[in-house]
Amino acid sequence: MDVKQAQVVGPDRARPRVLVIDDDQLMRKLLSRVLIAKGYEPTLAHNGAQAKELLGRGNFDLILTDVHMPQLDGIGVLRMVRETDADFPVILFTASPSAETAIGALQLHATAYLTKPIDPSRLTDEIEKALKMHALARVRKEAHDVVTVAAREDAARVEVTQRFDRALNGLFMVYQPIVSWSERGVFGYEALVRSSEPGMSDPGSLFEAAEHLCRWDDLCRKIRGSCAQPLATVDSDWLLLVNIHARELLDDELYERTTSLAAAAPQIVLEITERAHLETVPDVESRISRLRAMGFRIAIDDIGAGYSGLNSFTMLHPDLIKLDMALVRGIDRDPVKRRLAGLLIQLCKDLGIGVVGEGVETISERDTLLQLGCDLLQGFLFGRPGAPFQQPTWRDE
């Protein structure tokens, strides 16, 4: 039996329920009349064992129990209640008060210890006071719980903030080659973010933390400031593909011409994921025009996995698209994927848009994309993300 199941919200209910326990039938009736007259709803039990059963089945606001009863006495009832609830109001009464029972009542935090004959006014005053005190105890507990949860959330936020700061300090870029198979040459590299901070080493966890902390701009600016730096150490005409989210189009810093990214704009392709809702960006076409005027080229990432369908083509007028790796993975064994990829590749050719097959891991996937007319390829088959700017691996068989 769980006494907590026998509780209700308390004195704010229309008729608070009182469990009356006494082995004297006349006393039970007298107490019942007093309680009914004062607006309470009594339930009567002739001993502690019956009370235990009633507590297991019903909801009560207060227990009023005689001390001296056979089997389970009033102190036993009080002890049983205290095993599950330290605040539930229990009023003891007795015709034979003793130091032993008074001490027991005190130790178990009885709400009151009354002696017979019980004055009805005194009894109802004690009941009213007990119910109010119980309501106050519940409110205090709820307030404590709220404060505790808030404190834990604050502590967790501080911890996440500290880890995120370390992740930003430990942020670095890796680069994966994109090849032109027909030319056996490098078309470009995609810059991908990583961090040395455990638990935030991958892009997913980094952006999740940035979202939670409302520090998206901090992360995106750090990435944009880092990814183009290695270009200063090489002399090449290949392209660098840099991922940006649609919401980055709202960041004024992206359009500043003094950044390291802007300085390398003619060599940069900004990849905007098709998974993003471009419709949420006001004046998206004018923003893209500003970026083109700075020298940037535009790509759509994750084609085949996004929300916007052909809308992204009309809004962005991309120079390049990347087939989502979910469309590329196993394309040699899936006629539906082959058909969809073939349609996309042909559409892009007609529009003068380059196509990259992303996530190529097997020779069969590579050969299927080549047969469909996709010459630009990226994936583990040619090289894993690593230090700038490693040469791809070529496998003819």
DSSP structure string for 230-260: GGGG-----EEEEEE-GGGGG-GGGG-TTSH
Residue range 3-142, CATH number: 3.40.50.2300
Judge residue 97's burial from the number of C-beta atoms within 10 Å of its C-beta, 0-12 exposed, 13-18 middle, 19 or more buried: middle
Domain ranges in the chain are 3-142, 170-378
Instruction: Please tell me the predicted confidence (pLDDT) of residue 84.
Output: 86
Residue 61's nearest CA partner among 31, 17, 91 is: 17
Instruction: Please tell me the predicted confidence (pLDDT) of residue 8.
Output: 38
DSSP state of 392: P
Paired strand residues for 146:
none
Question: In the chain, which stretches have pLDDT less than 70?
Answer: 1-14, 148, 274-276, 304-311, 397
User: Distance from CA of residue 46 to its chain's centroid?
Assistant: 52
Q: How many CB atoms lie within 10 A of CB 245?
A: 17
Dist CA 118 CA 66 (whole Å)? 11
Instruction: Please tell me the predicted confidence (pLDDT) of residue 219.
Output: 94
Instruction: Please tell me the predicted confidence (pLDDT) of residue 3.
Output: 45
Contact, 245 vs 273, CB < 8 A? Answer: yes
CA angle 216, 217, 219 (to 5 degrees): 70
For 199-255, the pLDDT digits (tens) are 899 998 999 999 888 999 999 999 999 999 898 888 788 999 999 988 899 999 999
Dist CA 306 CA 255 (whole Å)? 25
Residue 197's nearest CA partner among 221, 155, 161 is: 161
Measured between its terminal Cα atoms, the distance across the chain in Å is 73
Judge residue 250's burial from the number of C-beta atoms within 10 Å of its C-beta, 0-12 exposed, 13-18 middle, 19 or more buried: middle
Q: Which residue has the tokens 């090449």?
A: 236
The CATH class of 170-378 is: alpha beta
User: Which amino acid is residue 42, in one-letter code?
Assistant: P
Dist CA 257 CA 210 (whole Å)? 25
Please compute, for residue 354, the number of CA atoms within 13 A of its CA located in the half-sphere on the CB side: 18
